[in-house]
Amino acid sequence: MSFLLAPEARAGRRPYRRLMNSTPLIERESLAVQTEGLGKRFGSRAALEGVDLEVPRGCAFGFLGPNGAGKTTLIRLLLGLAEPSAGRMRLLGRELPGGRAAALARVGAIVEEPRFHAHLTGRENLDVHCAARDRSAHARIEGALARVGLAGRADERVKAYSLGMRQRLGVARCLLADPELLVLDEPMNGLDPAGILEFRKLIGELVGEGRTVLLSSHLLDEVEKTCDLAAIVDQGRIVAQGSIGELAGGGPRAIDIVCHSPAAAARLLAAVPGVTRAGDHEGSLRVTLSPEAPVDREIVTELLRRLLDHGVAVERVAPVAASLEDRFLTMTTHLEDSHV
């Protein structure tokens, strides 16, 4: 039985079910990561609570959340760096903690930021890491260095590396395991725009090879561009998970209108059924619609008719594409909320 998704499914956004309030559709064996009711407490504070997460194999899965939401804690639990207070975990089809050693042998991970022995060279750092892996890992050092573009500087001490080079060396270290699953915690930190582009391409290639990438990040744009699926975590709980399209599509819908006398237009449109808000937005008039109201011909016609009937000239009408950022901001706790 193949654990990987078909190439045609991988090429586009992969089919995915929403897991909230639904019965399992994906077989356990086809999941790279599965948690049930996972919890972690630090004293009286719950860092994670009742986390049910399913990451299918062969995809790039984004794990999104604001700082302190519990992203790194979940990764630490999966990697056996900390013990859960409640719940169950399966990694690459193996129940944890019993099957941890076998599962982690095929997992490459960067937690928070990649760390190295600064007094050793890049190659020596990989040598040291290989000693903890199976014997075949040594044979992968050159290939891994070449793949991340560090072959020419592998014999320099890591203390001379830039942050971006350390990130790339971290990825090379992940590749030594010939991983089925890569767990990357904020991997874009410290990369310049060209580096981010390269990194995005690399993740695409890794997924194309049938590997699973679990990418934890607070960079919404990157997750949107890199991942097929995502989960949003807030205050230790998963608040949504699904395909990027599904997650972004669940957010507020809006239409931008460029017209004369936008203040008068805002007053007129606020009274239209289905409109929750109408106001200035970067020089145009943004009309926010209720989630039930579709952005279709009917409502656009109604808005235009209302404006033209009252003598407001309209220059341009454009639906606002829903973004993951909009969705993220409506779902997660804002800094000001957390202090209430």
* Count of positions on this chain that bind other proteins (CB under 8 A): 34
Contact status: 48 vs other proteins (CB under 8 A): no
Stretch that binds other proteins, among 113-121, 144-152, 187-195, 295-303 (CB under 8 A): 113-121
Of residues 266, 299, 295, the one with CA closest to residue 280: 266
Crossing angle (nearest 10°) for helices 193-208 and 163-175: 10
Rounded CA-CA distance 328/178 in Å is 33
Candidate residues 88, 117, 305, 310; the one interacting with other proteins per rule CB under 8 A? 117
Contact status: 119 vs other proteins (CB under 8 A): yes
The radius of gyration of the chain from alpha carbons, rounded to an integer in Å, stands at 24
User: Is the bond preceding 179 in cis, omega lying within 30 degrees of 0?
Assistant: no
Candidate residues 33, 53, 60, 103; the one interacting with other proteins per rule CB under 8 A? 103
Candidate residues 6, 11, 20, 128; the one interacting with other proteins per rule CB under 8 A? 128
Q: Which is nearer to other proteins, 206 or 220 (CB)?
A: 206
Candidate residues 9, 26, 46, 105; the one interacting with other proteins per rule CB under 8 A? 105
Q: What is the closest distance, in whole angstroms, from the C-beta atom of residue 176 to other proteins in the complex?
A: 9
Rounded CA-CA distance 112/123 in Å is 21
Site for other proteins in 129-168 (CB under 8 A): 129-133, 135
Rounded CA-CA distance 296/188 in Å is 37
Candidate residues 46, 50, 68, 124; the one interacting with other proteins per rule CB under 8 A? 124
The pair phi, psi for residue 324, each rounded to 5°, is -60, -30
Using DSSP's 3-state secondary structure scheme, residue 228 falls into coil
Q: Which is nearer to other proteins, 10 or 76 (CB)?
A: 76
Tokens of 159: 């203390």
Stretch that binds other proteins, among 118-126, 148-156, 191-199, 325-333 (CB under 8 A): 118-126
Residue pair 190/161 in contact by the 8 Å Cβ criterion: no
Candidate residues 102, 146, 263, 318; the one interacting with other proteins per rule CB under 8 A? 102
CA distances from 241 to 25, 38, 57, 235, 318 (A): 14, 16, 15, 15, 28
Q: Which residues make up the interface to other proteins (CB under 8 A)? A: 76, 79-83, 100-105, 107, 109, 111, 114-120, 124-125, 127-133, 135, 173, 177
